[in-house]
Amino acid sequence: MKDEKLSRVIAMTLGALERDGELVVTCPSIEPIADRIAEAALDVVPNTSLSFLELVGVRGLILHAISDKRFFDWEMPTLTGFSASEFERIAEKLPRG
């Protein structure tokens, strides 16, 4: 998934670095380079297009799921890689709304 905002910021930064003499871009357009860097960055950072309300919704979903033992059963840690207590810790990092 392409993150337009991240790609745009990277392209602007690459352009500034080139203007400052810190970097030489040898291709005709910075945008494809910025897109590739953004794509690589998204492998290790959250998607910047998630809104505050979306993050609040994900937090609510996690907390609801771990509170229902019929849903979050013995198999869920195997499927997700996280225990209920680990998901609770993750949810605490998200906005409360």
Sorted by where each begins, the domain ranges of the chain are: 4-41, 52-92
pLDDT for 17: 96
Per-residue pLDDT of 21-40, as tens digits, reads 999 999 999 999 999 999 99
Distances (CA, A) of 73 to 34, 37, 86: 43, 39, 14
The owner of tokens 């500034």 is 16
Distances (CA, A) of 16 to 10, 23, 47, 61, 97: 10, 9, 24, 41, 36
pTM over 0.85: no
What is the chain's mean pLDDT, rounded?
Answer: 91
Per-residue pLDDT of 40-92, as tens digits, reads 988 888 766 788 999 999 999 999 999 998 889 889 999 999 999 999 999 99
